[in-house]
Amino acid sequence: MRFAVDTGGTFTDLLVEDAAGMLHMFKAPTTPADPIRGVIDALQVAATGLGRSLQSLLADGETFIYGTTHAINAIITGNTARTAFLTTEGHPDVLVLREGGRAEPFNYTVPYPEPYIPRSLTWEVPGRLRPDGSEFAPFDEAACRRVIREMKTREVQAVAVCLLWSIVNPAHELRVASLLEDALPGVPYTLSHQLNPTLREYRRASSACIDASLKPMMAAYMAGLTERLRGAGFAGRVLVVTSQGGVMDAADIAQAPIHLINSGPSMAPVSGRRFAALDEGSDTAVITDTGGTTYDVSLVRRGRIPWSRETWIGQPFRGHMTGFPSVDVRSIGAGGGSIAWIDDGGMLHVGPNSAGAVPGPVCYGQGGSRPTVTDAALVLGYVDPAFFLGGSMQLDTAAAEAAIARDVAGPLGVTLDEAAAAVITVATENMVQAILDITVNQGIDPRDAVLVGGGGAAGLNSVQIARRLETPRLVIPEVGAALSAAGALMSDLTAQFHATLFTRSADFAYARVNAVLDALEQKASAFIAGPGRGSLEQTVTFWAEARYPEQVWELEVKLPSARFAGPDDVAALVEAFHATHEDVFAIRDANAGIEIVGWSVSVACRIHDEAGGTLAASASGGIAEGARMAYFPGHGRMPANLRRFETIAAGEKIAGPAIIESSFTTVVVNPGAVAERRPSGSLSIDPGRGGMA
C-alpha cells in the first residue's frame, strides 16, 4: 500500500493505492499553523472511509510520498533561519548586484530589491583562486577564524559559503567547512560547489544562501513528519517530492532543502503527461492545477516536461533566483478561494488574495466574509451545497448570495447571477493569460495542445478556458482533484549531478571531458546502489550545457553518446545543439561551432509498478442524478443534466448543459460542449466553439 499527499493552501489531498493497484481519494482541510496535522487528519479520513483504524491502515503502508509548500512559504513569509553569507574578499555585493537585470530598466521609481541575506550578515574572507583552479592569493585561515567568531556573537543559525571558482578547485570552501565544524558545531552550512557547481556566481551564491536558510527548519520539519508518521503506525519509507519532478528520501532532502521550493506543483505535469498520452494520444499538453489558493500552469512538450533554470521566488529580477533547475510551473493567485473585489475605479478583480483554508469562502461558514470563486460557483448552481466533499461539509448558499450581492452585484449595478458569472469570467481570463504566457513564450500554440484540468476547482471553468484558447480537447482525469498527489505516485526516485569543464567543439578536450563523465557516472552508480537500491528500473542520462561562441546563456542538450571517442561524437553533439537551439529560438547557425561550459548526469530509479490512475468504486451514499437549475452566460438559468462521475460508462457521451459531480470535484459542461468517459476513467470534453457561453 502506498500513500501520496499534497498539502495545498486550502486542502490536503491524499491518494491511497491499495494492494490491488486501485486508488482511493480523500481530502481534509489544510491546517496552516501545523501542516503535518492536516496530513494526519487526511490519513484519519482515509482510515474512516476504508473502515479501518489509522494504525492498521498505516501499518500496511510501504511508501509515503509527500509534497509540500512549507519551504516556499517560509521564504515568502520571512520565517527562515538567521543565515550568514561567507564569500571571497571583494565580492560582498554578489547578492545585491545579481546579474544586472531589471524588469523595467528605465523605471527608476522601483527600488532595487534587498539581497536575500543582508550585508550585516555578510562576511568576506581573504584568499582567491584563478579560473583554472590555481591559487592567486592564499586562504587566510586566521581571518576566517575571526569571521566565524563574529558569526557566533551574532547568533547565526546557518551559514552559506560561496567562494570564487570553488567549482574548479573546492579546497578553500572545504577548509571553511572544517573551521565551521570546529567553531560552530551543530550549525548547518551549505557549500556552493557541492550544492550547485554552476559557472555563474550569483546563481551559485543565491542557491547556497536559500538552501542554508532552510536547513534548520526543514530538518526539524522532516524529522517531525517522520516521527509523527511512525507514532501513528507507519513503518515504511518516507519520500518527499522535489522541484525537479521526482522524489527523494526525507532524510536526504533535509540536507538539501532547496529541492523543496516547488515541491507540490512539480507533480501535476507528471500525471498530466500520462493522461494526455493515455486519453488523447498527445505528447503536447497544457497542464493546469486549480487549487483553493493558486492556479498552476505547466507544459508537456513532445512528451518531455520542460525544466527551467530561471526559477525565481517572487517576480523576475525583483525576487530571488534559486539558481537551481526545477519543473517550469507558473503560478498565479487564482483558485477556488480567490477573493472577488471592486477597485476604486469600479473594476472587478478576482485574486490574488485568497480566503485560504482559514477562514475560507463565505459559504464555508467558518468566518469568511468576502466573496470568492467558490461562492460564485455555488450561487450559479454549479456546486451542490449538500454534496461538497461528498457531503462531509454543508455549504451556506444564502451567505454566499448575500456576500456577492453586497460586494459585487451592488457596486456593479447588475443582477446576482450576472455578478457571480462575472466573477467566474474574470477568474477565467486570469487563468487564460497565465496559460498564454507560458505557451506562447515557448513557441507552443494552445490550439495544438490538449488541456488537462486538475485540482478540485478545475471543472468549474475549464470548458470556458478551453474555448478561449481554442483548445481542441479538454481532459479531466478521474483523479484530477488530486492531480499532484497522483503525479507523486507516478514519479521516480531522482538525482542530478553537475560538473564544470569548459571546452570547444573545434578544440575538444576528449580526455578531460571523458574523465568528468566517468566521475559523474560513478556518482549516478552510487545513487543507484544507495537510495535506488532495489528499484525496478534505472535510467541514466548525460547532458551538456552548451552555447554558440560568445552567447551569454547556455542550453541543456542531451548527449547523443555517453563518451567521446572521436570527431563523430563531437559532431553529433553539435548537431543536437543546433536542433535544440532551433527548437527554442527558431534559428540555427549551422556553420558555427559550440562551447560547452558544464556537464551533468540525471538518474531516475523506478520504485513502483505503473500507477493505474483508476479510482476504486465510491462508497458514498445514494446517487443524486436528474437535473439542476444553473446559470450559463448567454443562456440564463436553465436545467442542467446532473450526473455522478463514477456512474458514467466508458464511451458514454454527455452533451451540455450538464454538471458532473464526484465527492471531490464538479465538472461544468457548458451548452455546446460534449463530454465522453474514457476507459481510464477520465472525462474527455469537446469544448465546442460557443464563445464564453
Tell me: the pLDDT tens digits for 484-506? 888 889 889 999 999 999 999 99
Higher pLDDT, residue 88 or 613: 88
Identify which of 524, 692, 538 has the alpha carbon closest to the alpha carbon of residue 599.
524
The x, y and z cell numbers of residue 91, run together, are 565580492
CB 645 within 8 A of CB 663: no
For residue 257 the three cell numbers come to 532543502
How confident is the model at residue 273, as a pLDDT? Answer: 92
Q: What is the rounded distance in angstroms from the CA atom of residue 359 to the CA atom of residue 367?
A: 5
**Mean of all residue pLDDT scores within the chain:** 90
pTM comes to 0.86
Q: Is the Cβ–Cβ distance between 203 and 321 less than 8 Å?
A: yes
Return the C-alpha cell found at 340.
472577488
pLDDT, position 183: 95
Phi and psi (nearest 5°) for 353?
-65, 145
Q: What phi and psi, each to the nearest 5 degrees, are found at residue 276?
A: -65, -40
Do the beta carbons of residue 266 and residue 68 sit within 8 Å?
A: no
Predicted local confidence at residue 392, as pLDDT? 76
pLDDT by residue (tens digit) across 115-171? 999 999 999 999 999 998 999 999 999 999 999 999 999 999 999 999 999 999 999
Sign of CA dihedral 39, 536, 497, 531: positive
Q: Cα–Cα distance between 247 and 492 in angstroms, integer?
A: 6
pLDDT surpassing 50 at residue 538: yes
Q: Do residues 468 and 504 make contact, with C-beta atoms less than 8 angstroms apart?
A: no
Q: What percent of the chain has pLDDT over 90?
A: 67
pLDDT of residue 610: 65
Cell numbers that stand for 89 in this block: 574578499
Please report the pLDDT score of residue 77 as a whole number.
Answer: 78
How many Å apart are CA 318 and CA 109, to the nearest integer?
Answer: 13
| Ordered strands of the 626-632 beta sheet | 626-632, 636-644, 658-661, 666-669
Structure-model confidence comparison of residues 78 and 473, the more confident one: 473
The answer to whether residues 692 and 470 touch, using CB atoms and an 8 Å cutoff, is no
Domains contained in the chain, CATH given: 2-75+218-264 (3.30.420.40), 80-213 (3.40.50), 493-606 (3.30.1490)
Q: What is the pLDDT of residues 420-463, one digit of tens each?
A: 999 999 999 999 999 998 888 777 889 999 999 998 889 999 99
Q: What angle do CA 301, 307, 309 make, to 5 degrees?
A: 145
pLDDT reported for residue 471 = 93
Q: What is the DSSP string of 679-690?
A: TTS-EEEE--S-
Contact 71, 65 (CB under 8 A): no
CB burial of residue 354 (10 Å; 0-12, 13-18, 19+): buried
pLDDT at 175 over 90: yes
Q: Which range among 272-276, 307-311, 350-354, 599-603 shows the weakest confidence by mean pLDDT? A: 307-311
**If you count DSSP H runs as helices and E runs as strands, how many of each does the chain have, helices first?**
18, 34
Q: Which residues pair with 162 in a beta bridge?
A: 87
